[in-house]
A and B are shown apart, each in its own frame.
Chain A
Amino acid sequence: MKKDFYEMTCILNPVLDEEKFSEIVAHVNKLIEDNGGEIVEVDEWGVKKLAYEIENKSTGYYVNLYFHAPGSSIEVIERNMRIHDDIMRYLTLKYDAKMLRHFELRQKGEIPTIFEEETEETTDED
């Protein structure tokens, strides 16, 4: 089966404790793997302040996932996430060629800097 590369970010309910967070992350990972996907990277950003309130909460626990999965599985995964009470919001993106190249650069830590005054190293070619 053809598999595409996806990125998913979700915001979990911040009221829970550490144990529950890892439990939910494991639950989401299992959900993806059960539907024929493979996890590439899991990045937990931790509790962050939200720019606006979601479900009357001003903070959220961010989790960023990268995985390969067949297209038909996304529907199933998203339906399960929508039902889950402690997942406040999620965003799934399918990666195209440009985004994949960007992801590879990011893994190597070679994203071109845009504003040179922030980081001293310049990536000018011209």
Chain B
Amino acid sequence: MINNPSHPKKGHLKSKDCKFTKSGIEYIDYKQTDILDRFINDQGKILPRRVTGNSARHQRQLSTAVKRARFLALIPYVTENLR
């Protein structure tokens, strides 16, 4: 979140609309890590729907995509909290 200025938790989220529904995307690809990065926090956890405004369908797809990306080491399971 600290490294990501456009993170939804940083008050960057203007509307609570589902971004995926709005763009008309049908399948969330685990290879597009730039998109997945927007929906995980700095620890690597998936953000809840109440924060991102995702629709239920896309939140399910997103969680599958994130888990696939984690398996292939594209995004981390856990990030060390540097403090």
Contact B73 A50 (CB under 8 A): yes
Residues on B with beta carbons closer than 8 Å to the beta carbon of A46:
none
A-contacting residues, B1-21, CB 8 Å: 6, 19-20
* A60 to B, closest residue via Cβ: B73
Question: How many residues from B make CB contacts under 8 Å with A?
Answer: 23
Contact A52 B73 (CB under 8 A): yes
Contact B76 A115 (CB under 8 A): no
With A89-B71, A115-B19, A115-B35 already in contact, the answer to whether A98 and B76 are too (CB < 8 A) is no
Chain A residues engaging chain B, CB cutoff 8 angstroms: 9, 11, 50-52, 54, 60, 62, 64, 89, 91, 93, 98-99, 101-102, 106, 111-115, 117-118, 123-125
9 contacts between A and B (CB under 8 A): A51-B77, A54-B73, A91-B68, A91-B71, A98-B27, A102-B25, A114-B20, A114-B25, A123-B23
